[in-house]
Amino acid sequence: GQNKAYDEMINEEEEASKADIDSLCSAIMRYKPDENKNVSVKNLVSWKLLKQTGSILHPSAAFNLLTCNTEYFAKIQCALFKGTEKVDFLDRKEFGGPLYEQIENACVFVMQHINKGAQIDGLVRQDRYELPLAAVRELIVNAVLHRNYLLHSSIQVSLFDDRLELLVPGGLYDGLTKEEMLSGYSSIRNRLLADTFLRIGIVEKWGTGIKRVFKECDAYGIERPEYTVEN
């Protein structure tokens, strides 16, 4: 009714801690140091990640997700299965904490559990994973960015003998259709997260993620991923 995304909601009952503020400022500067040399509280307030009332700084839901992350289901569950069904676990991990750390940890999990070979280009030997890592990372970023954080379920990244599968809580947002999504249109559910990811370079620009995934898969000579949408 307020035309606000969930991640824009301010928790008026809480005060953001200095440790969380310093941690997020440092992370933003670390990801894109050339453009974010001196990120401060003023920046976080102007970006609406914090709301200042007198001397008190209240956190937005996005600030919480990017720092201490007290949301129980705002996690990524990763699993390696034997065979092609969710029956026998070979390895599994659950990653909480700041969303940007979850993305990196999930990418490392996938990288550790897919095969790696070598490709010879002239005299140069190059390591080659069986899946394009840039596409894998893009898929995980999109899952974190577009999921519905009000649902009581986590993102699941599952590796099988024959595929990588991601389950993302929440259907498409604001009337967006699957066909529109695949053609590059974007409807942002978590606007502050999208702005922050764009600002620190985790995403390049809105609505280009799926096209980049398709481009990486085409260049790698593998099939493009299949998307299933359930409301």
Reduce the DSSP state of residue 173 to 3 states and report it. coil
- Per-residue confidence at 175, pLDDT binned at 50, 70, 90? confident
Q: Lowest mean pLDDT: which of 9-13, 29-33, 125-129?
A: 125-129
Q: Is the pLDDT of residue 184 over 90?
A: no
Q: Is the pLDDT of residue 122 over 70?
A: no
Is residue 209 within a helix (H) or strand (E), and if so which, with residue range? helix 209-220
Q: Is the pLDDT of residue 120 over 80?
A: no
Name the percent of the chain lying above pLDDT 70.
95
Res 76: pLDDT: 98
Angle at 220 between CA 140 and CA 139, to 5 degrees: 10
Region 32-49: mean pLDDT is 89
Burial class of residue 230 (count of CB atoms within 10 Å of its CB; 0-12, 13-18, 19+): exposed
pTM of the model: 0.92
Region 87-101: mean pLDDT is 97
pLDDT in tens, 107-119: 999 999 999 987 7
CA dist., res. 62 & res. 199, Å (int): 14
